[in-house]
Amino acid sequence: MLSLRDFTVIRGGSKIVRDVNLDFEEGKIQIILGSNGSGKSTLAQGIMGIFPTDGHIFMDGEDISSLKVDERARRGITLAFQEPARFEGITVKDYLLISSREKKLGEVEDALRMVGLPRTMLFQEMDDSLSGGERKRIELASVLLMKPRFAILDEPDSGIDIISFKRIASAIKEMRNRGTGVILITHAEEMISLGDVASILCNGRVVVTGKPADVRRLFTKTPCPIREVR
């Protein structure tokens, strides 16, 4: 269990995410909804330890608030960024082998297949020659290979075409089946319906948590009821 208690994330000196209280369970998908600028990516990066935070983050009851990014990664927390990084001079194969626990090429090929990319992509470089959608799918393949305890996926469906969308959805379901707790930031209806529970983030605060279908309906009507200045 990963638990946020009065969790606040500070960026550029401002409290962008405030007093969040949420519990993430392994083998469950928690959806985070929120308008542009509501603080979703900031929350994701705060959990990963990229920005300074206030309040607490507990993993199995232990306060991990003071742990650095790499230490959190070693405990099994992974973040797939909204905008995945480019790496010059490293091939897709090398990048994915780093994530593969068993360092087996067969496992890497399986992960690539699961996100719907051809085997030939293994030899391509992780630079600008990849499209945005390809980079997102490779990032997801790397999360599959890591088999983390908790995976934070920041809009894994953005920039993904309709045909590939279903594959991405099944890859995320597969993560849950393997026991990963998925924190899924998304706006896509089909993705929301994968969730076990959903929350709305509004001006950096969690304003509602409930069944994904109900929360989605509420979000469509009133995306952000709090209008206060941060």
Ligand X SMILES: Nc1ncnc2c1ncn2[C@@H]1O[C@H](COP(=O)(O)OP(=O)(O)OP(=O)(O)O)[C@@H](O)[C@H]1O
Contact residues toward Mg ion (CB under 5 A) are: 40-41, 82
Q: How far is the CB of 41 from ligand X (least distance, A)?
A: 3
Choose, by CB under 6 A, the member of 8, 30, 41, 99 that binds ligand X.
41
Select 14 or 193, whichever has its Cβ closest to ligand X: 14
- The DSSP output letter for 122 is G
Q: What is the CA radius of gyration of the chain?
A: 17
- The DSSP output letter for 50 is S
Q: How far is the CB of 44 from Mg ion (least distance, A)?
A: 8
- The window from 10-18, 84-92, 99-107, 172-180 that contacts ligand X (CB under 6 A) reads 10-18
> How many residues touch ligand X (CB under 6 A)?
13
Q: How far is the CB of 12 from ligand X (least distance, A)?
A: 2
Question: What is the footprint of ligand X within residues 79-98 (CB under 6 A)?
Answer: 82
Choose, by CB under 6 A, the member of 34, 116, 181, 195 that binds ligand X.
34
Task: Write the burial class of residue 58 (CB in 10 Å: 0-12 exposed, 13-18 middle, 19+ buried).
Answer: middle
Task: Write the burial class of residue 197 (CB in 10 Å: 0-12 exposed, 13-18 middle, 19+ buried).
Answer: middle
Q: What would the two tokens of residue 30 be?
A: 């928690």
Choose the contact partner of 37 out of Mg ion, ligand X, none; CB within 5 to 8 A by kind. Answer: ligand X
Q: How far is the CB of 185 from ligand X (least distance, A)?
A: 7
- The window from 30-38, 83-91, 97-105, 115-123 that contacts ligand X (CB under 6 A) reads 30-38
Choose, by CB under 6 A, the member of 5, 10, 11, 209 that binds ligand X.
11
Angle between helices 162-177 and 132-146 (to 10 degrees): 10
Q: Using the rule CB under 6 A, is 40 a contact of ligand X?
A: yes
Q: How far is the CB of 46 from ligand X (least distance, A)?
A: 9
**How far apart, in whole angstroms, are the C-alpha atoms of residue 180 and residue 28?**
7
Alpha-carbon separation of residue 78 from 47, 129, 142 (angstroms): 10, 25, 10
Q: Using the rule CB under 6 A, is 137 a contact of ligand X?
A: no
CB-CB neighbours of 189 under 10 Å: 11
Candidates 41, 54, 73; CA nearest to 158 is 41
Q: How far is the CB of 82 from Mg ion (least distance, A)?
A: 5
Q: What would the two tokens of residue 82 be?
A: 């909204």
Instruction: Give contact residues for ligand X (rule: CB under 6 A).
Output: 11-12, 14, 16, 34, 36-42, 82
